[in-house]
Amino acid sequence: MSDTKTLGRPREFDEDVALAAILDVFWTKGFAGTSMSDLVAATDLRKGSLYAAFGDKHAIYLQALALYEATAVDGAVALLTGSGTPVDRLDRFLSLPITAIARAKDRRGCFLCNASVDQALLDPDTERAVKAGFRRLAGGLETALLELTDGERDAGRVKAQAQHLLSVYFGLRVLAKGGQSVKALTEAKQAALDGLPATA
């Protein structure tokens, strides 16, 4: 039986490139603030092509969230669990909101955080995606925190500390989006790092 995907005219655009452009629009404008016309303009595709490739606006939004997790969240988890000392890795993670505006003038905040405010309470699919991203980031933080004392810490305390640092991270993202200075954000980040448990 032949694959129906091979029938008809093949798509003449790169779906990955189009989805990256779509992510940028939703990240900047949010779900409610984004129209199909915005997505058409960003991708230079016809509305019918968008629907055929990605589905309706809700489906497109979820795919943009999935792309963000596969890039930004994956990158953050890799940073937290990769090379360098645990403190260095935590420092680099908490510095992400600061470097975003210091180097790229990017004050869009975190798309995951934006989605949690914008749509998670209204849409169960978005809520599940947001919670999954939060869990992955918290897991990366727990890995780094456990290494601070060679795993000799109470699991409950480690989870609480990870949630605290995750709250700091998202708070920095929101403050950056609201226009806080790099200096103020850096001072807040350093205060969080100063509160880390001592190494063994």
> Distance (Å, rounded) from C-alpha 121 to C-alpha 124?
7
Q: According to the model, what pLDDT value does residue 66 have?
A: 97
Residues 20-36 pLDDT 10s:
999 999 999 999 999 99
pLDDT of residue 50: 93
DSSP for 98-145, written as a single string: HHHHHHH------HHHHHHHHTTTT-HHHHHHHHHHHHHHHHHHHHHH
Predicted confidence (pLDDT) per residue in 178-193, tens digit: 999 999 999 999 999 9
Instruction: Select the more confidently predicted residue: 121 or 12.
Output: 121
Give me the pLDDT at residue 155, please. Answer: 82
Confidence of residue 152 (pLDDT cuts 50, 70, 90): low
199: pLDDT strictly greater than 60 = no
For the record, the structure tokens of 114 come out as 């934006």
Task: Measure the CA–CA gap between 132 and 167, rounded to whole angstroms.
Answer: 16
Q: What is the pLDDT of residue 13?
A: 75
Mean pLDDT for all residues in the chain = 90
Q: Kindly tell me if the per-residue pLDDT of 60 is higher than 70.
A: yes
- pLDDT over 60 at 1, yes or no: no
Mean pLDDT to the nearest integer, 25-54: 95
Q: Which fold has domain 68-194?
A: Tetracycline Repressor; domain 2 (1.10.357)
